[in-house]
Amino acid sequence: MEAAPLHTDLERMPEGGKAYWRKCADGTRIRVAVWQGSGEKTVLVFPGRTEFIEKYGDVTDRLLDRGYSVAVVDWRGQGLSDRHPVHPPMGWVKEFSDYQLDVAEVLALVRDTGLPDPYAMIAHSMGGAIGLRALLDGLPVEKAIFSAPMWDIYVASHMRVPAWIVSTFGPGIGLGQRFVPTGGPSNYVQEQPFEGNTLTNDKDSYAVMQSHIKQHPEMGLGGPSVHWLNRAKRETRALQAAAPPPQDCLCFLGSREAIVSKDAIRRIMGKWTNGNLVELEGAQHEVLMEEPHIIKQVWLEIDAHLDE
C-alpha cells in the first residue's frame, strides 16, 4: 500500500493515524486514513462535500477515546483525492454512483489493515447521501449515524424555479462544467466570516476550519458544478423513494439547518422503522462541530446508540 500525507500537525488532529492512496475500479486515486483503536469495533466516517480527512480530527479523537478504530475518506473530487481534471476547485463527479467506488476502497483498506469488524458508520451531509446509498447496496455496517444528511438540498423558495431550471437543463445546454450560479472557486470558510455563517454557532470550531484551509489551501474546495447539482438531485430523489435499509439508525438535524432539506430528512426518517431522529435546538449544519452543550448532547446520543 502506498502511503499518503496526513497532516497531524493541524489543530484537533489525533496522533497515530496512517493515510494511504487507493486506486478505485475506474482508476481514480483517493486518500483514506485509518486509526487503530483499543476495542473491537470500527467506525467508517463519511465526510460532506468540500470536506477532508483532517476536518474530522476531533470526531476521530473522540471515537478513539471510546476504543473504536476509525477510517475517514477524501471523496473523489475533494481533499487530496483526484479532482476535476481542468478545474480543481470545482466540486464535480461524473455520476453520483461513482462515490460507491470510493466506499468500496474504504472497506478494502479497513480489511487490508486489519481493523476490527463489526462496523458502524458516521455520515455527514453529502456523506449521508453516499452512506445511505451504500447501506441500500449492502454495506456491512451494523449501526448508522447521520449528521444533517443530504437527502435533498435546501433551496430558498424564491430560488427554487431557477435552481430547477439550471440543474435540469444546464448540463444539456453546455453549462455542466460551470459553477452553479451561487458558487465560485473559493472555499466557503475562506470567504465567509464567522458572523452570519450557516455551518456552526461555535466560534472556536469555525476558526479551526479556517485555519486548516489557511495552512493547507490545496485541501479547500469551491462551489459545485452544474453537472454535480444535476446528479445530486437525481440521487436524492431516488433515495427519498427507496425503502430504508434494515440497520439501526440515529440521525441528527439542527433547528437552524440551512444547507440540506429538513423535510427530506424527516420524510426518510419517518419511514425508518428502527430509526431515531434527534432534532437539536439552535444547531446549524455542523452538528458534530457545534457549541459545547450541543456536542455533549450529540455524543450522549451516539454513545447510547453504539452501545445498544
User: pLDDT of 25-67, one tens digit each?
Assistant: 999 999 999 999 999 999 999 999 999 999 999 999 999 999 9
Angle in degrees, CA 212, 217, 223, rounded to 5:
100
Mean pLDDT of 270-276: 97
Predicted confidence at residue 164, as pLDDT, reads: 58
pLDDT tier, 161 (very low <50, low <70, confident <90, very high otherwise): low
Label the pairing between strands 29-35 and 18-23. antiparallel
pLDDT tier, 174 (very low <50, low <70, confident <90, very high otherwise): low
pLDDT digits (tens, 9 = 90+) for 75-134: 999 999 999 989 999 999 999 999 999 999 999 999 999 999 999 999 999 999 999 999
pLDDT tier, 162 (very low <50, low <70, confident <90, very high otherwise): low
Predicted confidence at residue 49, as pLDDT, reads: 98
**H-assigned helices in 151-202:** 160-169, 188-191
Predicted confidence at residue 163, as pLDDT, reads: 60
Residue 275 has pLDDT above 80, yes or no: yes
Chain length of the chain: 308
Residue 160 has pLDDT above 60, yes or no: no
pLDDT above 70 covers what percent of the chain? 93
C-beta separation of 82 from 137 below 8 A: no
The beta strand positions in 188-273, using DSSP E, are 248-254
Classified as helix, coil or strand, 98 is helix
3-state helix, strand, coil in the chain (%, to 5): 40, 20, 40
Predicted confidence at residue 292, as pLDDT, reads: 98
Predicted confidence at residue 182, as pLDDT, reads: 81
Predicted confidence at residue 264, as pLDDT, reads: 98
Predicted confidence at residue 170, as pLDDT, reads: 58
Predicted confidence at residue 133, as pLDDT, reads: 98
pTM of the model: 0.95
Predicted confidence at residue 213, as pLDDT, reads: 97
Predicted confidence at residue 178, as pLDDT, reads: 83
Instruction: State in Å, rounded, how far the first CA of the chain is from the last one.
Output: 35
User: Residue 298 corresponds to which amino acid?
Assistant: V
Residue 159 has pLDDT above 70, yes or no: no
From the list 268, 11, 9, the residue with the least C-alpha distance to 132 is 268
Burial call 5-31: b when 16+ CB within 10 Å, e when fewer: ebbeebebbbeebebbbbebeeebbbb
Predicted confidence at residue 280, as pLDDT, reads: 98
Torsion of CA 204, 205, 208, 210, to 10 degrees: -100
Predicted confidence at residue 76, as pLDDT, reads: 98
Mean pLDDT of 167-184: 73
The more confidently predicted of residues 183 and 142 is 142
